[in-house]
Structure 1
Amino acid sequence: MLFETLANPAELRAHALAELQKYSAHFPAESAGLKAIAELLADTSADPFSRANMQGHITTSGLVYDAAVDKVLLIHHRTLNRWLQPGGHHEGLDRLDVSAAREVEEETGVQVCGAQDQTLDAPLIDIDSHAIPANPGKGEGVHVHHDFLYLFRGDATAPLSPQWEEVQGVRWVARETLLALPSARFGRLVSKLRLAL
């Protein structure tokens, strides 16, 4: 897997802004919903990648798709108690797609590649801002995750190796199953996957 460390926080912020601008150009109908992320990245007084930033911070996730069986990979999140795509906090070190790929591999054991070829050049398929409930055990109040979600290819026959500290389960599900999950985001993703295929 390709790992590209970005040199400093300013370079990482510029990378995230560039990703946001490309996404906004590709999905102009969603531009109004991206204002909070744009403001977070424009505010140089706070670190948008630090999980200590309770105004909100950047997370990354991966929608892993196996076209041969028309399935996507989901994890059952231990804290939120729901089925979601694998992902987590950005560690402030590298490109957003690399962070997302690492989170997928850590939580599921599945290695991924980009949607089009064997590289990690994965398309940004969705950006979503959502409230996260307080977690007193971690000393965290209510805050917002601004999640950058990348589309990866994966192999549904590969062995799964869940990270049990973080997840309660890992499974491949039919793409259309996403529509039955309680999240407007999954409805968007099914539509976007249809266009990407």
Structure 2
Amino acid sequence: MASTSDFLSRLEALVSRYCAEVAAPHEHLAVLRWQMAERHALDDRATMPGHVTTSAIVVSPDHAQVLLIDHIHLRRWLQPGGHYEPAEQFCRSAAREAVEETGIAGLALHGWHRDGDLPFNIDSHEVPGKAARGEAPHLHHDLQYLFTADPRLPLRAQREEVHAAMWKPVSALHDIAPNAAARLERVR
């Protein structure tokens, strides 16, 4: 297993590249960058004020539909994702979450990614804590990756975390991940 230092080195390189090549002028990622500079264990879900998550924005090949999950604890529709789990690439952590939560087959990293691991979007957002875990509200620094899959294939929701998995019109992404939705419009 990689050390927190190795993880942070990989993350720093990724965030620097994202800021240089992808980020819009309003994307500063100040808390994430501060936590990296302070050498926080961002691969540990107990790290506060935030830690890394990965998620998959899965679209149909024609970009007309997006695969969403009805999250049990957050009680809202979201893209599949979760806390970072060690993987060779961050995009593989996102893919694993999508497959686990939806049962989707044939998941493919979108051609936008060229080399594979540059995030499509990085979204730092506040999430509610869980009293059962003694967890206060905190930040998820979500590394979002764009994938394609065939919406005709069957889905199987992971019942421990997900009420349902369903393909919805891609316009639904605007309420869930507005920055990623705007970026997706330019990818077509």
TM-score normalised per structure 1 = 0.85
CA contact (8 A) 1:57 1:144 kept: yes
- Secondary structure of the residue aligned to 2:120 is strand
Answer yes or no: is 1:110 the counterpart of 2:104: yes
TM-score by length of structure 2 reads 0.89
Residues 120 and 84 (structure 1), Cα distance of their counterparts in 2 relative to 1, 3 Å cut: farther
2:143, 2:131 → 1: CA distance?
Answer: 25
Cα pair 1:9 1:92 within 8 Å, conserved:
no
1:27 is the counterpart of 2:18? no
Aligned to 1:89: 83
Structure 1 residue identity aligned to 2:15: L
Give 2:58's aligned residue.
Answer: 64
Question: Match of 1:76?
Answer: 70
Cα shift readout 1:88-110 (whole Å, capped 9, x = no counterpart) = 00124442111101010110011
Match of 1:192 in 2: 183
Percent of aligned pairs with the same amino acid: 34
Task: Tell me which residue corresponds to 1:3.
Answer: none
| Distance in 2 of aligned mates of 1:125 and 1:42 | 23
Q: 1:30 to 1:21 in 2, by over 3 A?
A: farther
Is 1:121 the counterpart of 2:110? The answer is: no
The code of the aligned residue for 1:113 comes to A
1:147 and 2:154 matched? no
SS in 2 for 1:38: helix
Instruction: Please give the alpha-carbon distance, in whole angstroms, between the structure 2 residues aligned to 1:120 and 1:65.
Output: 19
Indicate the residue corresponding to 1:15 in structure 2: 10
Separation (CA, whole Å) in 1 of partners of 2:152 and 2:31: 39
Q: Assess if the C-alpha contact under 8 Å between 2:68 and 2:167 holds in 1.
A: yes
For structure 2, list consecutive stretches of 5 or more residues without a partner in the other structure.
Answer: none
Aligned-CA RMSD value: 2.1
CA distance in structure 2 between the aligned counterparts of 1:135 and 1:158, rounded to whole angstroms: 34
Instruction: For 2:6 and 2:26, locate their aligned partners in 1 and report how far apart those are by CA, in whole Å.
Output: 25
CA deviation after TM superposition for structure 1 residue 11, in Å:
2.1
Q: Which residue number in structure 2 is paired with residue 43 of structure 1?
A: 38
Check the 8 A contact 1:122/1:151 in 2, yes or no: no
Looking at structure 1, the residues matched to 172 and 85 of structure 2 have their Cα atoms a distance apart, in angstroms, of 31
Stretches of structure 1 lacking an aligned partner (at least 5 in a row):
1-5
- The 1:157/1:123 distance shift into structure 2, 3 A limit, reads farther
User: Does structure 2 conserve the Cα–Cα contact (< 8 Å) formed by 1:114 and 1:123?
Assistant: no
Aligned counterparts of 1:174 and 1:123: Cα–Cα separation in 2:
25
Query: Post-superposition shift, 1:192?
Result: 0.8
Following superposition, the deviation at residue 69 of structure 1 comes to: 6.3
Q: Is the 8 A contact 2:98 2:104 kept in 1?
A: yes
SS of the residue aligned with 1:171? strand
